[in-house]
Amino acid sequence: MTSKAGIEQVLKEASMRVTQPRVAVLAAVTANPHADTETIISAVHEEHPLRPASATTTTMWCAAAADIWRMSIVRSERLRACTPRTITASR
């Protein structure tokens, strides 16, 4: 998942829309394996300076819900429910 095309394919296989901020988040995670959240937010901020930290963490949460980090892409209802409104409501 190191190339932009590879990241886009992973998002598509997970039934997630391909957006530049999502690609940036997954690229940052790929480039910084085992990094903490602040490191990922900083890396994304370099490419997308106007992207709020909360949006980056939401993207990371959605990717985790889609099992993207383990590369075992499974289509599931979790993705359809993955919106900022439902994340806030579930806390």
- pLDDT tens-digit profile of 26-81? 899 888 888 888 999 999 999 889 989 999 888 888 888 777 766 533 333 444 44
User: Would the pTM of this model clear 0.95, i.e. be above it?
Assistant: no
CATH topology of domain 4-90: Arc Repressor Mutant, subunit A (1.10.10)
pLDDT at 90 exceeding the cut of 60: no
pLDDT at 86 over 70: no
Write the CA distances from 68 to 49, 64, 89, integer angstroms: 24, 6, 23
Euclidean distance between CA atoms 51 and 1, whole angstroms: 22
**Residue 87: partners with Cβ closer than 8 Å, 6 or more residues away:** 58, 61
Residue 71: count other Cβ atoms within 10 Å of its Cβ: 9
How far lies 57's CA from each of 5, 25, 62, in Å? 22, 9, 9
